[in-house]
Copies of this chain bind each other. A is one copy, B any other.
Amino acid sequence: MDDERRFGFRRLRGGACGPRLGELRLGARRIPTPAFMPVGTRATVKTLDSRDLERIGAQLILANTYHLYLRPGSHRIARLGGLHRFMDWPGGILTDSGGFQVFSLAAFRKIRPEGIEFRSHLDGSRHFLSPARVLEIQRELDSDIRMVLDVCTPYPAERAQAEAEMELTLRWAAQSRDWWRREASAEAARGALFGIVQGGVHSELRTSCARALVGLDFDGYALGGLSVGEPTEAGQAAIEAACASLPPERPRYLMGVGTPQDILAAVARGIDMFDCVLPTRNARKGTVFTWDGKLVVKNSAFAEDRAPLDASCECLACRHYSRAYLRHLFAVGEMLGGRLATIHSLTFYQQLMERIRAAIAADRFEAFAAETRRRLEGARP
C-alpha cells in the first residue's frame, strides 16, 4: 500500500465552532490550516506554472474536474501519470466533483435520481455524471482530496427545493461513500473523500445535512452552495449551523469563498479550508488585494506611481516593479500585467492565512480580524 500520500488532519487548537488551528497531512507534507487554495482550473493557476506556485508558498491547489474531464480528458491525464505529474506539482491537489460547473456552464443539464445529464459547453456533446462516475474521474486525475457529487441549491430557493436537493445530495453522498469503501480500498490510502453540506440558507437543513453526512464518516466536510448571492448574515448562519454539527477532528472546507473579509468571518466560525477565483480573476483584470484594501492598478491614477503594489509585500511583483509599470502593462494589454498581479494577489492571500494562523496561535484572532477589516476597508487616498 502506497503511504506516500496518506491523508490526515490534526487539530491543534479550537473546537467545533470558533477559530481553529490545524494541519492537513498528505504523506510527509504538512499543510497548516486555515489554508487557502489557489484555483488551477485547467491544470494551471492561470498565467502561473508550478514553480511559481511553490515560490508563492501554495501547498494545496484546487483543480476543476468538469474542465479537465472535457479537456484534455481524465483518461488522458491518467495515461500521462495523473495530474501531479502532468503539471509537475509536488504539492496537494483537491478536485471538485464537477457538479458546480455543470450547473453554471453546461449548455443543457437535467438532474435525475441517478446523477446529472448534461451537454458540454464546448461542443454540445452529451455526458452523464453519477456519484460513482465523478469518483472514477477524480481517481483518473489522481488528486489528493476528492469531492462527492452534490446538488448546489441556488439563492433564492424555496425551502422545499432546498430540502429536496439536500436529500438528493445525501443519497448521492451515501452512494459515494459506498463506492469509496468498495472500489477504492487501495485508493483510500492515496487520497481523502469529502462530503458536502447543502441546505441553502435554511439552518435546520444545514444541521440535518451535516449530521447525516457525519453518520457516513467522511475524511472531511465541505460546505457548498454558499456565496451564491445570499445575504451575508444568512450565509454566516448557515456556516454556524453546519460547523456546530461537524466533528472537531475533521477538516471543514468552505467552497468558493471568498474575499479576505469573508475568510475572516468564516475562520471565526470554524472553517479550515478555502478556495476562490477572486484573487486570480481580479488580478487578470487589473485589481489586486493589498493590506490597505483593493487597488485598481490599471487605473490611470497610477500611471506615474513609482511605488510597488504593496510596500510591505515581498512578492516578485512588489520587489521589482512599480504600479506605473503594471498600469502600463494593463493599458497596452500585455499578459505580463495579469501574471504579476496574480503573483501579488496570491502572495497576499498566503500571507493573510499565515497571519490568521499566527493570530489564532497567539489567542488574538478577534483583535487581528477587527484590525485587518479596518485596514482593508479604510478609504484609500
Residues of A within 8 A of B (CB): 42-44, 46-51, 67, 71-72, 76, 79-81, 86-88, 303-304, 306, 316, 320-322, 324-325, 327-329, 331-332, 334-336, 338-340
Contact = CB atoms under 8 A, between A and B. Distances in A.
A328 B73 CA distance: 10
A325 B327 CA distance: 31
Given A303-B76, A320-B50, A320-B51, A44 B329 contact: yes
Closest 10 CB pairs of A and B: A88-B320, A72-B328, A44-B336, A42-B332, A44-B334, A47-B335, A71-B332, A335-B335, A80-B324, A86-B325
Nearest to A71: B332
A87 B325 contact: yes
Contacts of A316: 49, 51
Total identical chains: 2
Contacts of A338: 335
Contact of A88 (B43, B51, B321): B321
Contacts of A79: 304
Contacts of A88: 320-321, 325
A304 to B, nearest CB: 6
A147 B165 CA distance: 69
B46 A331 contact: no
Contacts of A43: 325, 328-329
B336 A49 contact: yes
Contacts of A335: 46-47, 335, 338-339
Contacts of A46: 334-336
